[in-house]
Structure 1
Amino acid sequence: MEPLESRVHYNRWEDSSQEEVRVAGTVSSTEASCCRKVSQKLCTGKLGVAMKVLGGVALFWVIFTLGYITGYYVHKCK
């Protein structure tokens, strides 16, 4: 997720009385802060390490199962 500062565009026209600031995206600040809190909670600290380990183990078993099934059908005796 890119920082909010890189998504803010500031244009200053030749006439100094008119300035324009645009913020890209439609996510409100409360939704962004809620998502940020959840991601920080799940991706840092001991809970973050546990989530990464469980994700890695789950990914291993998915790949292992797909490989086993594929190998079974590829090397199946006729």
Structure 2
Amino acid sequence: MDSNGAGSVQYDCWNEDNINMNVESSQTTWMRIYNRVCVGSTGKVVKVAGALAALVSIYIIGYVTGYYVHRC
């Protein structure tokens, strides 16, 4: 199975010339916004604020619905 003839292809998987360490510039705009807003401590604050806004909106919808259903 080992062929060391002229037809074999050799490559170096640790070729340091082809490594791209600049990850930030290769990301799309949406991924940068997602990483800034949804990850880390800022992400926790955004998630808590979103959950609180969802609960308040459900409460208001329930209040208005209950008002119109139960009025005489």
Range of TM-score over shorter length: 0.5 to 0.7
Count of residues paired in the alignment: 47
Q: Which has the higher strand share?
A: 1
Map residues 22-37 of structure 1 onto 2, 5 A cutoff: 33-37=28-32
Extract unaligned runs of 5+ from structure 2: 1-24
Structure of higher RCO (CA pairs closer than 8 Å, 6+ residues apart) = 1
- Could you state the TM-score of these two structures normalised by the residue count of structure 2? 0.61
Q: Distance in 2 between matches of 1:66 and 1:38?
A: 31
Give unpaired runs (5+ residues) of structure 1: 1-29
Question: After TM superposition, which residue ranges in structure 1, 4 or more long, deviate above 6 angstroms?
Answer: none
RMSD: 1.5
Q: CA deviation at 1:66?
A: 0.5
Report which of the two structures shows the higher radius of gyration computed on alpha carbons.
2
TM-score, normalised relative to structure 1: 0.56
